[in-house]
Structure 1
């Protein structure tokens, strides 16, 4: 076998692989054995005809074509090893000639990552602050959540629960026809369309109102149309909000005896929540800044493979919903090539992020051990209630273990990155560098220096 490394461009090695007839013999022999199992030649038992007979029977071209399925990946792999290439991903191979075989292989190489000046990035973690208004807002939500509904005789207001009949149509097509349905009138209720709740406000008990709503352009059924509605209100209820006192705190449960205890726990929960959010923003900011100052040279084939994976994931999701890819593409008005083009940038970003994280892991010697994996599985299991044993079994599968390994590794990398951007890493190093030197050790060092002069 003769391998020529013609060039390396865009982190892709271009190889020409030429085989002699003798190089092809093992592959032809195995191809002959496979063919012998599939065909019947008069005068011979299945699989017992000699190669000469089989080759004459099917033709050499068919024999060589059969050999290609086995030959191409094996020979390409041997060529990569021969050229000592740091290959990653699946090469693209073109058969230039079959007999004797000449192949052209494009081999994606490990991306080159330059982290730039990421160690000069400085970010500060936000201090978690919770105001009395924040606590009061939670109290109000608790009042609403635990309040019973009671009928009232007045016009509809926001936050009321109404029982009504509704009839709606768009350009003569009925889109709603219901009697006695309950509806929460709220400013943030966008159902069925934005502004519908506001039209219900001020309707008197027993009154009928006709109005129209503009349908948003992104509505999946009647985008950009005008919907005509007729609504009759039969019942109006409001929440019977409890007074904020010790009895209210006791009704919440969880062992609260006083409102002050409840408020203090709410404050502690909000502080913890804000601390987690601040930490998350710091981690996201640290990674974003590192990505901004890094450069990654990714072979185009690797990006194409990532797009393939994304297309496959999309197809699987559609299949779960009972839709085929062709039908989906027709719905969104795109071809498969257009969809692949749309995914190209996202695939590049995903690979860039992955390779930057991988390089950071190597630079900071991040490792994941068996205890880390077990701890992560137990954390998932602890949050799964009665399904904890099923979770443990699911995570015992190799693919699941790989995912957990990557998850833990990424988390550890981010932790190291946060140390860098907040200056903690430098402080640790400074502390080691400024450690006092033992006088006796210093004397020994001076003596060694003098003896070696």
Structure 2
């Protein structure tokens, strides 16, 4: 096989691949054998028709066409490996020459134009030191968590006074456009000041007592008239305020397994400290990626970027120019990070085991509330297992790279082993830098999960 490569862009290459006849012959023979199973030739048992007879009955062109369907993808893959080209998208294949007969001197020749990962050199990691901002747990953090827990045990009590911010009201709504009612809702519960309903409703409700009503102007956010201005009449049916329990030992016993409020506070402080360390580990991850990208010129494949942005904007059909620009910037950074992590995984000779991939897919299935076995089978059936393998390799490469560098905070060495694991544990499982993110969810895997969820509905 002869391979020539022409770089059209830093991120696009055109391969011209010429296959020797002796290399193509096994594919021709396999095609003949498959065709022989499907045709009836007098004097020969089905599946045992000689090659020459098959060529005569169906034509050599049909045999060659069948052989090309299998040969071209395999020779293309071999060419990528030989020339160390890392594709970022599916190639544009064009077959330019095909043998005309079994004894033809013409060779199979085709071109493959593909967007590729650009070439760049990663820095050495062993001597690298990365500074990370320190994190501290303050009394305010503990108080905030304690207050959130306290609110979970709060009760709503009716009050005979005008409503104010923070109160919970039961309301009826009637939206009208040009005097005609276009949307009505009754018995809606709403917390004043939460900002989860129409613009202007908070100001309208404050000062109203039970059985009082008022009108205000707003823009509808849903239904057939979304985006239109409407006059909204709102009536208050009841006003309630949240009554919170006293912060004392009795509350600690009711809300937790601890006997005293001081013990509960200490446990909350420990949880806050662990969360702070998790945020610091995430910051270390981001700093690590930024550090190894520092000074590198890494162009992003244009076609891949355009397709990624297009896919992300499908869920935002009314996005303005500023939003579109932000989506493009985020997509470009994500693609650049992916390419760097792919290169890092190769540099570190990362190996991905079957259990690594299945654990990853099981974690995705759990996020979607799906049966792991069913989800894994769907990934296999859709031919998307490669995306999962790639995501796991990226995660293992990132964690392996982070274990090689030194992280410091306030000039002191930062121990992230609780989040990064050790080199001995690296092959046992894919660790997580964030609790809910074993690895960044593979887009292909998530898409399959979405499709299965829709089918279930």
> If the TM-score is normalised by the length of the shorter chain, which range does it land in?
0.5 to 0.7
Partner Cα separation in structure 1 for residue 326 and residue 33 of structure 2: 46
Deviations 1:368-387 (A, max 9, x none): 799x969x89x98xxx9xx9
More helix by share: 1
User: Aligned residue for 1:113?
Assistant: 120
User: Aligned residue for 1:149?
Assistant: 156
The number of residues matched between the two structures is 387
My pick for the range that moved more, 195-204 or 109-118, is 109-118
Q: 1:103 to 1:373 in 2, by over 3 A?
A: closer
User: Aligned residue for 1:269?
Assistant: 271
Q: 1:98 to 1:425 in 2, by over 3 A?
A: farther
User: Aligned residue for 2:341?
Assistant: 357
Structure 1 position 36 matched with structure 2 position 36: yes
- Return the TM-score normalized by structure 1: 0.66
Whether the 8 Å CA contact 1:15–1:106 is kept in 2: the answer is yes
Following superposition, the deviation at residue 289 of structure 1 comes to 3.8
My pick for the range that moved more, 145-154 or 13-22, is 13-22
1:411 to 377, 399, 411: 399
User: Aligned residue for 1:60?
Assistant: 60
2:317 to 329, 332, 344: 332
After superposition, residues 38-187 of structure 1 pair within 5 angstroms as: 38-41=38-41, 45-77=45-77, 84-89=82-87, 92-99=92-99, 100=106, 101-106=108-113, 111-115=118-122, 122-131=130-139, 133-170=140-177, 174=181, 176-179=183-186, 181-187=187-193
Following superposition, the deviation at residue 128 of structure 1 comes to 0.7
Partner Cα separation in structure 2 for residue 255 and residue 361 of structure 1: 46
User: Aligned residue for 2:200?
Assistant: 195
Following superposition, the deviation at residue 272 of structure 1 comes to 3.3
Partner Cα separation in structure 2 for residue 168 and residue 277 of structure 1: 44
Whether the 8 Å CA contact 1:167–1:176 is kept in 2: the answer is yes
Deviations 1:306-331 (A, max 9, x none): 987999x98xxxxxxxxxx9xx69x9
Deviations 1:150-198 (A, max 9, x none): 211111122222223222245677554233x14132312322x233233
Whether the 8 Å CA contact 1:18–1:103 is kept in 2: the answer is yes
Following superposition, the deviation at residue 250 of structure 1 comes to 3.2
User: Aligned residue for 2:230?
Assistant: 227
Partner Cα separation in structure 2 for residue 306 and residue 41 of structure 1: 53
Which of structures 1 and 2 has the bigger CA Rg? 1
User: Aligned residue for 1:247?
Assistant: 250
User: Aligned residue for 1:5?
Assistant: 4
User: Aligned residue for 1:210?
Assistant: 215
Q: 1:261 to 1:198 in 2, by over 3 A?
A: farther
- Return the TM-score normalized by structure 2: 0.65
Partner Cα separation in structure 2 for residue 47 and residue 237 of structure 1: 82
Partner Cα separation in structure 2 for residue 404 and residue 349 of structure 1: 19
Q: 1:272 to 1:186 in 2, by over 3 A?
A: farther
Whether the 8 Å CA contact 2:201–2:216 is kept in 1: the answer is no
Secondary structure of 2:27's aligned partner? helix
Secondary structure of 1:95's aligned partner? strand
Name stretches of at least 5 consecutive residues in structure 2 with no aligned partner. Answer: 100-105, 320-324, 415-457
My pick for the range that moved more, 285-294 or 411-420, is 411-420
Partner Cα separation in structure 2 for residue 417 and residue 175 of structure 1: 62
Whether the 8 Å CA contact 2:168–2:190 is kept in 1: the answer is yes
Partner Cα separation in structure 2 for residue 26 and residue 373 of structure 1: 36
Whether the 8 Å CA contact 1:395–1:401 is kept in 2: the answer is no
Partner Cα separation in structure 1 for residue 335 and residue 135 of structure 2: 33
After superposition, residues 407-446 of structure 1 pair within 5 angstroms as: 407-417=395-405, 419=407
Partner Cα separation in structure 1 for residue 171 and residue 412 of structure 2: 61
Deviations 1:312-370 (A, max 9, x none): x98xxxxxxxxxx9xx69x9389xxxxxx99987665444323423544566x586799
Following superposition, the deviation at residue 408 of structure 1 comes to 4.4
Partner Cα separation in structure 1 for residue 91 and residue 22 of structure 2: 24
Q: 1:162 to 1:31 in 2, by over 3 A?
A: same
Whether the 8 Å CA contact 1:12–1:108 is kept in 2: the answer is yes
Whether the 8 Å CA contact 1:4–1:16 is kept in 2: the answer is yes
Secondary structure of 2:401's aligned partner? helix
Q: 1:403 to 1:108 in 2, by over 3 A?
A: closer
Following superposition, the deviation at residue 68 of structure 1 comes to 1.6
Whether the 8 Å CA contact 1:85–1:109 is kept in 2: the answer is no
Following superposition, the deviation at residue 103 of structure 1 comes to 2.2
Whether the 8 Å CA contact 1:92–1:106 is kept in 2: the answer is yes
